Amino acid sequence: MSLFITFEGPEGSGKTTQIRLLTEALHATGHSVLATREPGGTRIGNAVRSVLLDPEHVEMSPRAETLLFNAARAQIVDQVIRPALAEGHIVLCDRYADSTLAYQGYGHGQELDELRALIEYATGGLKPDLTLYLDIPVEDGLRRKLGAGAEEWNRLDAKQVSFHETVRDGYMQLIAAEPARWHRIDCRGPIESIHLKIVQAVETRLQQIREETP
């Protein structure tokens, strides 16, 4: 059974850890799983990622940033995500199109309708079946990310706290607009407790798909 699940959330919310745990749990129950990330996941996407996140690229304009993210997105959709879904895999992606609306839209103040048109082109209209939002207070998440080491700290992490607060508020608006697709999880508790909540949300969505399938 194919299923496209995306993970969103503030910096330091633990997406990488939770994707790894969910991958292991789904494999254990017989599912075929592909885990990937944005930007990245392909040779071209990884090259774009290095440009986008390099802390030295402080002069990058919001429009250039937006186009680079969506170039990497188009590549991963065409090369990785669509083929995996066609083969019946469950695809887990660390960030996807909602990140553009939250960061480049709400965060940078760019026109959301223009971004949605660009995303539609970059993805060919591919939307997630379920989006898990791992929620954490912005400053807590940034401290957690900084504590992971300098190699984990990137150009977007270094934005002012007010920018990250605006991004989080943007996510809240996206969740309110599409509550059926989103599942918000408080990730301030123990890792295993968060994992169990994620597994429950995924199992619920899988059951819904089974019931909807003739």
Total domain count, the chain: 1
Sheet holding 182-186, edge to edge: 33-37, 90-94, 3-8, 130-135, 182-186
Question: pLDDT of 180-189, one tens digit each?
Answer: 999 999 998 9
The DSSP bridge partners found for residue 209 are none
Question: pLDDT of 35-49, one tens digit each?
Answer: 999 999 999 999 999
What is the Cα–Cα distance from 50 to 90, expressed in whole angstroms?
27
What pLDDT, on a 0 to 100 scale, did the predictor assign at position 32? 97
**Rounded-to-10 torsion of CA 191, 25, 130, 84:** 130
Question: pLDDT of 120-135, one tens digit each?
Answer: 999 999 999 999 999 9
Both structure tokens of 62: 């919001």
**Cis preceding-peptide flag for 55 (omega within 30 of 0):** no
182-186 and 90-94 beta bridge pairing: unpaired
What is the residue range of 142's domain?
3-212
At 6, the amino acid letter reads T
The CATH number of residue 102's host domain is 3.40.50.300
Question: Which stretches of the chain drop beneath a pLDDT of 70?
Answer: 148-154
